[in-house]
Amino acid sequence: MNNTDNQLIATRYAKSLIGLAAQGGLDYTKLYQNLQNVKEILSLTNELFDALCNPVISANDKEELISCIFANDTDETIRNFLKLLVKENRFNLIYEIIKIYDNMLDKINNISKVEVLSAIELDDNLKEQIKNKLGEILKKEIIVNYNTDKSIMAGLVYKMGDNIFDTSLKGKLDKFKKAILK
């Protein structure tokens, strides 16, 4: 199965979680927190993820493992969801499902996540100005992750999902170089 198929399948599962929350099974935030707990627990050891994806291990053993490992940190609804993924041999998609759910939840809550790269560390005042300006432009609540990258020399690079807006000196020099070489 290729990545596109996996993404479509993961999207269906993420939509089902959104639907579950919309029906009142769990609210969006609690569901998000439960999924983050699952991701955190799985990230502690690769062996757990591998075991839950392993076709040699029976579905019943995997379900017992889910019941034991996730009992204290997740709601029963999420444990049942994880068991469903095991039964359907789709547990390998859990990280993609969580990522897609997070993106869907951001759309529902009118949130946009932006990564801002700068050549130097920005002060808090400038960070707040950038966040506020982005919020005005996008008409969304903005969550900004600031990083530094000396290679951009000056200016800023904004990354929003698959979109990149490069206002850096390096970006302008690269465009200039391409124009000259044409």
Tell me: do 83 and 122 sit in the same domain.
no
Tell me: do 39 and 72 sit in the same domain.
yes
Q: How many CA atoms lie within 13 A of 122 on its CB side?
A: 22
User: What integer pLDDT is reported at residue 171 of this predicted model?
Assistant: 85
Q: Pairing between strand 163-166 and 141-148?
A: unpaired
Number of compact structural domains in the chain: 2
Tell me: do 85 and 127 sit in the same domain.
no
Q: How many CA atoms lie within 13 A of 165 on its CB side?
A: 8
> Of 106, 138, 159, which closes a domain?
106
Is residue 41 within 8 Å of residue 33, measured between CB atoms?
A: no
Residue 133: what are its φ and ψ, rounded to 5°? -65, -45
Confidence band of 50 (pLDDT split at 50, 70, 90) = very high
Q: Three-class SS of residue 98?
A: helix
Q: What's the CATH number where 85 sits?
A: 1.10.520.20
Tell me: do 100 and 24 sit in the same domain.
yes
Q: How many CA atoms lie within 13 A of 159 on its CB side?
A: 9
**73-114 pLDDT, tens per residue?**
899 999 999 999 999 999 999 999 999 999 999 999 999 999
Instruction: Return the closest-CA partner of residue 85 out of 16, 22, 23.
Output: 16
Tell me: do 77 and 117 sit in the same domain.
no
Tell me: do 52 and 121 sit in the same domain.
no
Mean pLDDT score of the chain: 91
User: What integer pLDDT is reported at residue 65 of this predicted model?
Assistant: 94
Tell me: do 21 and 58 sit in the same domain.
yes
User: What integer pLDDT is reported at residue 94 of this predicted model?
Assistant: 97
What the block records as the tokens of 18 is 């959104």
Tell me: do 90 and 118 sit in the same domain.
no
Tell me: do 145 and 82 sit in the same domain.
no
> Of 106, 124, 154, which closes a domain?
106
**What is the domain range of residue 101?**
3-106
Confidence band of 51 (pLDDT split at 50, 70, 90) = very high
User: Is 2's pLDDT higher than 80?
Assistant: no
Tell me: do 9 and 87 sit in the same domain.
yes
User: What integer pLDDT is reported at residue 114 of this predicted model?
Assistant: 93
> Of 89, 106, 123, which closes a domain?
106
Cα–chain-centroid distance for residue 60? 29
- Our CA dihedral for 140, 145, 149, 155, rounded to 10 degrees, sits at 30
**109-143 pLDDT, tens per residue?**
999 999 999 989 999 999 999 999 999 999 999 99
Residue range 165-181: mean pLDDT, rounded: 87
Q: Which residues contact 30 (CB under 8 A, 6 or more apart)?
A: 75
Tell me: do 58 and 90 sit in the same domain.
yes
Q: What's the CATH number where 123 sits?
A: 3.40.30
Tell me: do 133 and 99 sit in the same domain.
no
User: What integer pLDDT is reported at residue 42 of this predicted model?
Assistant: 94
Beta-ladder partners of 111: 141
User: What integer pLDDT is reported at residue 25 of this predicted model?
Assistant: 67
User: Is 32's pLDDT higher than 70?
Assistant: yes
